[in-house]
Amino acid sequence: MKTISIDPLNIDYSLIREAADFLSRGKIIALPTETVYGLAAITDKPETVDKLYEIKGRSKEKPFTYALDSSERALRDYFITLSPFGYRLMERFWPGPLSIVYHSKDGKRVGVRVPSHEVAREVIKNLGAAVYLPSANKSGQKEAVSAQEVEESFGQELDLIVDGGTSTYGQPSTVVDITFSPYKILRQGVIAESEILKTFIKKRILFVCTGNTCRSPMAQYLFEKYLREAKPYLIGRYEIISRGTGALTGAKPTSNVFKILKVVEGIDASDFISRRIDRRTILSSDHIFTMDDNQARYIMQLEPSAEGRVFALKKFLPPELERDIPDPIGKDIEVYEEAFFLIKKAILELREWL
């Protein structure tokens, strides 16, 4: 049995490649993670997986969790389309000490984790394949939090120990199963259940226009203001954002938007910057409101699973006013004022709907 030391703050990539090579050859190695040390084995070699169960003293009726180097890989290769809550869990806690159980692409329930320890992630990335990474302990015993504790527990049963220092948290990851409604904590770990609950409760509302410098920022700021005034107890229940289908990231709202929001509503929009909409933002949003039908079509083409969560803001206008919110970019102040009037009218109705 061999031990190598890799400093997570000054990674020696020759040692990363050595550890990955051990895994590719079907060896079982110990890897540091931010929670506790884990026993790593490549997932596509049955004899190696059998040996991992044997070393752990674990029943084969208890499946191992997949450890990956990125959430993108989890979405591409393992999970089917999740609920917005699932995407927000990934966004908030990955990489990190959370294991998520959900439906796989072949109809099974699988557990997946993306550790935040740089050494573990780099080894998995260099391997180019998923690993099983259960905690480094005999079943029922205390988890190892250092390379020395791993060696004391397993000795020559392992092929390699990667010493990356003492684990930061010293306790296992939290395991949340989101195949249940709304979810079920299978194991309490580093992340408190209260934090999982906060992520579930805080719904994401997304306003969408084209450039994200006129209409959708006005909608975002107006909704925040009028929700706070009428229903302050709901402020913590919603995250309100805006995006543009053709936005250039980093632009400021137009001067007319600044002026209208400041003079009419007393709102300072100086900290706002535009962002282009992407698939992950769509998937993580519970309610999506567009300024016109073009944006709704764009969203549905980009992510068809958003159907049922996309609404035209004009649907919250009274019948005599129902129409697309006009795009004022490059036009006179009167068009900005018309767009502002219609957005505000719709926002007040939307506030009551929510």
Asked if residue 143 and residue 114 are part of one domain, the reply reads yes
Distance CA 293, CA 53 (A): 55
Number of domains in the chain: 2
Whether residue 197 is contained in a domain is answered as no
DSSP annotation of 104 = B
Whether residue 52 is contained in a domain is answered as yes
The string of DSSP codes covering 322-349 is: -SPPP--TTS-HHHHHHHHHHHHHHHHH
Q: Is the dihedral of CA 68, 69, 71, 75 positive or negative?
A: negative
Asked if residue 167 and residue 24 are part of one domain, the reply reads yes
Whether residue 228 is contained in a domain is answered as yes
Nearest residue to 257 (alpha-carbon basis) of 221, 306, 296: 221
Give the domain CATH number at 239.
Answer: 3.40.50.2300
Token code pair at residue 162:
């990667």
Asked if residue 187 and residue 97 are part of one domain, the reply reads yes
- pLDDT for 274: 98
Asked if residue 231 and residue 157 are part of one domain, the reply reads no
Asked if residue 318 and residue 220 are part of one domain, the reply reads yes
- Angle at 24 (CA atoms; ends 23, 30), nearest 5 degrees: 5
- pLDDT for 46: 96
Asked if residue 211 and residue 128 are part of one domain, the reply reads no
Q: Phi, psi at residue 207, to the nearest 5°?
A: -100, 135
Asked if residue 214 and residue 159 are part of one domain, the reply reads no
Q: What pLDDT, in 10s, does the model give residues 248-268?
A: 999 999 999 999 999 999 999
Provide the whole-model pTM: 0.89
- pLDDT for 325: 98
Asked if residue 286 and residue 167 are part of one domain, the reply reads no
Positions in the chain short of pLDDT 50: none
Distance CA 15, CA 160 (A): 11
- pLDDT for 155: 87
- pLDDT for 196: 97
DSSP annotation of 190 = S
Helix axes 255-265, 333-353, angle to 10 degrees: 60
Asked if residue 255 and residue 167 are part of one domain, the reply reads no
Asked if residue 116 and residue 243 are part of one domain, the reply reads no
Q: Let me know how long the chain is.
A: 354
Domain that includes residue 94, residue range: 2-192
